[in-house]
Amino acid sequence: MRIDDWPPESEAAWVSRRKLLMLASSALIVLPSACNRPSDSTDSLYPKAIEHNSGEMIYWSATAIARAILEKRISSEEVVKAYLARIQAVNPKINAVVQLRAEDALADAERADASLARGEVKGSLHGVPITIKDSFDTEGVVSTGGTKGRAHYVPAEDATVVARLKAAGAILLGKTNTPELTFAWETDNLVYGRTNNPYNIEKSPGGSSGGAAAILASGGSALDIGSDTGGSIRLPSHFCGTVGIRPTSGRVPRTGHIISYIAGAEDAFTQIGPMARFVEDLILTLPIIAGVDWRDPAIVPMPLGNPREVNL
C-alpha cells in the first residue's frame, strides 16, 4: 500500500495507538511479524537483541542490525544500500530527510566492513546507518537548524552526540527535518518545507523532531537523535508510532545543538535523546551519548543505571 493510500476509507477516523501499530503491518510500515530472542551464548554487547525471522532488514531494530553485522550475517554496505533505497522511495512524499550523504555513507560502510574483516570493531553500533536531526552540527554536512540564516552553514566539527555515535561505529546517512530553531509542534520551515506523516501525508508528524519520527516510521532509518524542549521527541514519537526518550536534565551534552547550553532560563528544558522504532535501541544508544563532555556545564558525571534491572 502506498503512503497516500493510508488510512483505508473503511477505517474509523480515530484509532488507538495499539490498533494503529497493528494495522501498520499491512500498510506502509510492515513491521516484522515474528521474532525471537538470541541464545545466552551470544555476544554481551546485545544481551536482548530482537532477531527478526521475517520482514526486510530495514524494519529490524538497530540492535539486531548491529548484531547481524558483527556476526557477519549481513554487511554494513548491504544495510546502507537498503536504507538509501527506502529513502529514495518514500522521501519524495514525506520530505523527512533533507540532506543525504549517499556516496560518503557507502564509503563509510565499505571501511566498516573492511575493518570488521580484520577483527577491528569500533563499538556497539559498528556499521549501523543512522540519521540525525538537522538541529545538530554534523562535520562537513549542511546543518541549517531549519532557519534561512544557516541555509548554507557547514560545521567544522560534529555535535558531541554525533561524535560519540560515530566513535561507536554508526554511519551517518543524512539529516532529518526540523522546524525553525526547533520551536514548533509541527515540522515545516522556509529552507526545506514541510514534513508529512507517513501514515497520512495530509497530516503532521509532529515536531520538532518530526523528520526523525517520519523516516523511522517509514523504514528509512533505524535510529535518529532528537531534541526536546517541550515535547519535541515525545510528540512526534506518538504521532508516528515510534519511540523516544527525553533524558533527565544534566544527562546528555547539548554541545553542537542549535539550542545549546546558553539558553538562559530555558536551559534546563532542552534535552537530547535517542529515537527509534524499538525500545531496546533507546537502551543501546543512551549510554553512548550520555555523560560529561566538559563543555556543556550543566552535564553531571552521574552513573547511568540499567533499565533492565528496574523491577516494577
Domain CATH number, residue 107: 3.90.1300.10
232 belongs to the catalytic site:
yes
Catalytic residue among 75, 76, 133, 143: 133
Residue 162 in domain: yes
Residue 265 in domain: yes
208 belongs to the catalytic site:
yes
Residue 32 in domain: no
Dist. CA 110–CA 94, nearest whole Å = 29
Catalytic residue among 76, 124, 135, 208: 208
* Residue that has been written with the C-alpha cell 547550553 in this structure: 261
Catalytic residue among 61, 135, 218, 232: 232
State the pLDDT at residue 175.
98
Report DSSP state, residue 197. B
State the pLDDT at residue 268.
87
Residue 6 in domain: no
Q: What are the per-10-residue average pLDDT scores of the chain (312 residues)?
A: 36 38 35 29 43 72 98 98 98 98 98 98 98 98 98 98 98 98 97 98 98 98 97 98 97 95 82 98 98 96 92 88
Domain that holds residue 291: 75-299
Residue 67 in domain: no
* Closest C-alpha among 219, 208, 222 to residue 272: 208
76 belongs to the catalytic site:
no
